[in-house]
Chains A and B, each alone.
Chain A
Amino acid sequence: MMALLFTVFAPLAGALVLAVLTPLRIAGWFNIAISALNFAASLALARAVATDGVVAGMSFRVDDFNVYLLVLTAFVSLTTAIFSRPYMGYVRESGRTTDRGMRLYHTMFQLFMFTMMLALSTDNLGVLWVAVEGATLATVLLVSLYRTPEAIEAAWKYFILCGVGIALALFGTVLLYFAAQHVLEDPTKGLTWSALYGVAGQLPPSVMGLAFVFLLVGYGTKVGLVPMHQWLPDAHSEGPTPMSAVLSGLLLNVALYAVVRLKMLVDGSLAGTELPHMAGYLLMGFGLVSFLVAGLFLHRQRDIKRMFSYSSIEHMGLMTFAFGLGGPLATFGALLHMLVHSLTKSAIFVTVGHATHIAGTQSIDHIRGLIRTQPAVGWGLLLGVAAIAGFPPFGVFTSEFLLLTATMQTQPWFTVPLLVGLAVAFAGLFRHLQPMVYGSVPEGQEPVQANMLPVLIHLGLVLWLGLSIPEFLSHWLNRATELIVGVGLL
């Protein structure tokens, strides 16, 4: 329990301190310290869940599904904090932001972590909503940190689109509470997920169906499902690179987690009706469309960060499709994919940060010859893209393979668009990557001070997961799968 409280509230305490801490150098190190503390607490929490099964209390609830997401979030935030310290120092020196901006950045970074931890660990669906909206509010000012017209536009779009989406999700939450009023003995517990899960079969299907549509559209906006994805490429490309890393790697996961939790409730409620898999079909539909559309848009991009944010949309679409497909194989694959995608995408964005630093621009056409200028960055980018595109032996290949197997078993015709989409995305990524990494070096391009350690760790982990998933992790994921679909894979 202590570990849980520490994991959730340490970032909040850190944010309060960072709000008043003025020297920039200390702020950077303090940021890393808080994130490290957070990570340690999350590991302790994971141990507690492994022994006890569930850690609950004070309307928090950590079971097998969200504990690994908590650990993942804490880990990626730690590595990103390590990357961001020197990177933001360079940003400050180049004059793209002010001292006040830096203080805002560090405070909001930890506040953002707090809201994500809160969202992942709470048992109350209303608090979940508040936390997800809080995450949007915390990052909005960071997207516009550089104060260029494009950044302000991106932040405004982000604010408005996500705000509207979240408002629709609130309506869905209200409907959910309404549905629970006459089913639970204690109606005030109508927003407690565990109580609702217990009586899921009795919840009125018509209300639950309508509620799920609103919730899917609402939280789906934050996942980046097409056609509610319009804010994502702008927000992820205009903000500072560490922000893109955590937004792409972590926030999308949190939103998808919310969707899957709600799907568990709706499936229980719709089980006895004529359309028991309606939630699954909706997820599959949105997921597939997002996957294909993003893969196609990938080709047109001229900005490196936009390209990778479309890749995020594509992978989130794939995960949504997998969760919609249901069944132990697809769900295991989706959970694994959440893990490896987070690690790989954040590693890629870290590398991209260094690459843009070297080239001085974010435009793909003007980044060239990275491997000659600074081999570490060049190789990092190459391996990172190989990983995200699904090359064996990286972990993404494993999870995509599991997903394709599951699709072939249950809905064979969908395998074709999946394979086509994967090929299209692969082609798009490498088409843009090739000149960036191998092209002729432009005049005066110098290597920079780059700490590639986070990237190394992340890619190493992904490789390890691709080659052989360790025992404890596979059991962990298996228990989560059992929780979601009722039957485990192994």
Chain B
Amino acid sequence: MGLDQLSLLQQLMITLSAMALFTSFALLEQARLVAAIHAFAWQGVLVAMVTAVVAASGGLEHLFFSAALTLGLKALLIPWMLHWLVRSLELDRHKEPLRHPALVIMAGVALVIFSYWLVLPMVEEELMFTRNIVAVSLAMVLIGLLMMVVRQQAVTQVLGFMSMENGLFLAAVSATGGMPLVVELGVAFDVLVAMVLFGVFFFQIRESIDSLDVDRMNRLTERTDEE
């Protein structure tokens, strides 16, 4: 099932998903906060483009709406909100270098291989390229998870969470041609509300511990129970 048997639109889908995976890695490794937000915005653009290509190749009109929704929400609104938060929290020039960048990148690559292995048994002969894009989107989800684990700053953890949602959306679009519109609207609404709540939280956290380094929030551990 080589690449030459797929139509141009399907090849475009594959290329765009590969580029989205690259933005996942870029997000993972980026030390500067503002650049990370830009990488996330680009990820949103790429996912929206994949949706549009799927809509065009399958003739599914409601997916064009989903593509527009993703573009508006993930590529414009949420990055804008994050920018606003970063400016209000005075974190414009904040840099948070990874402690072990090589190890983290290797872990990311291992996660890509792992997700491919996980998805392998789902054989659908005529839709193998779809299954492969599902592997890529699962990798994006897991890399988002990795990002939340290795980062200590609250804003970058939120970026990791949002990039997980991007991966999930890509999985839904590529594997199934989009979930029912009601569900997609619900998910988009949930993501938006989550973003708003995150914003509220940033201010609360900064008020309480005077920084956004979540590693410093460690009063509630089992050890503190022994007074």
Instruction: Name A residues whose Cβ lies closer than 8 Å to a Cβ of B.
Output: 124, 126-127, 129-130, 133-134, 137, 140-141, 144, 147-150, 152-157, 159-160, 163-164, 167-168, 170-171, 174-175, 177-178, 181-182, 188, 190-191, 204, 206-207, 210, 234, 238, 297, 300-303, 306, 363, 365
Contacts and interface: CB of A to CB of B under 8 A. Distances in A.
20 contacts: A126-B179, A126-B187, A127-B186, A134-B190, A144-B204, A152-B205, A153-B220, A154-B220, A156-B214, A160-B161, A164-B161, A170-B168, A171-B138, A171-B171, A174-B176, A175-B175, A188-B180, A206-B123, A297-B222, A365-B227
A301 B208 contact: no
B217 interface: yes
A210 B119 CA distance: 8
Given A171-B138, A210-B119, 16 more contacts: A124-B180, A129-B186, A147-B204, A150-B219, A152-B204, A159-B197, A160-B161, A164-B161, A167-B164, A174-B172, A175-B175, A191-B179, A206-B123, A210-B122, A301-B225, A365-B227
A439 B225 CA distance: 21
B194 A163 contact: yes
Contacts of A301: 225
B121 interface: yes
Interface string B208-227: 11000010011110100111
A206 B121 contact: yes
A193 to B, nearest CB: 13
A191 B122 contact: no
A398 to B, nearest CB: 33
Contacts of B172: 174, 177
A174 B168 contact: yes
B145 interface: yes
A148 B118 CA distance: 43
Nearest to A157: B220
A140 B219 contact: no
A184 to B, nearest CB: 12
Contacts of A167: 141, 161, 164-165, 168
A281 to B, nearest CB: 19
Interface of B: 118-119, 121-124, 134, 138, 141, 145, 148, 154, 157, 161, 164-165, 168, 171-172, 175-177, 179-180, 182-183, 186-187, 189-190, 193-194, 197-198, 200-201, 204-205, 207-209, 214, 217-220, 222, 225-227
B160 to A, nearest CB: 9
Contacts of B197: 137, 140-141, 159
Contacts of A204: 122
B183 A164 contact: no
Contact of A206 (B122, B161, B183, B186): B122
A170 B194 CA distance: 15
A434 to B, nearest CB: 18
Contact of A130 (B161, B177, B190, B226): B190
Contacts of B154: 156
B21 to A, nearest CB: 16
Given A126-B186, A210-B122, A156 B201 contact: yes
Interface-centre pick from A147, A150, A167 (highest chain B CB count, 10 A) = A167
Contacts of B194: 133, 137, 159, 163
Contact of B157 (A160, A178, A363): A160
B118 A210 contact: yes
Given A137-B197, A204-B122, A127 B225 contact: no
Contacts of A178: 134, 175-176
Given A164-B145, A171-B168, A303-B225, A127 B182 contact: yes
Contacts of B227: 302, 363, 365
Contacts of B222: 297, 300
A74 B153 CA distance: 40
A257 B177 CA distance: 28
B118 to A, nearest CB: 7
Nearest to B141: A171
B116 to A, nearest CB: 13
Nearest to B120: A206
A133 B165 CA distance: 13
A244 to B, nearest CB: 15
A167 B187 CA distance: 10
Contacts of A133: 190, 194
Contacts of B193: 134, 137
Contacts of A153: 208, 217-220
Contacts of A127: 182-183, 186
Contacts of A126: 179-180, 182-183, 186-187
Contact of B219 (A149, A155, A177): A149
A326 B179 CA distance: 32
B182 A190 contact: no
A359 to B, nearest CB: 16
Q: Which of A133, A153, A154 has the most CB of B within 10 A?
A: A153
Nearest to A154: B220
Contacts of A144: 201, 204
Nearest to A204: B122
A58 to B, nearest CB: 11
A149 B220 CA distance: 9
Contacts of B165: 167
Contacts of B134: 178
A357 B108 CA distance: 50
Contacts of A363: 227
A306 B190 CA distance: 29
Contact of B217 (A129, A147, A149, A171): A149
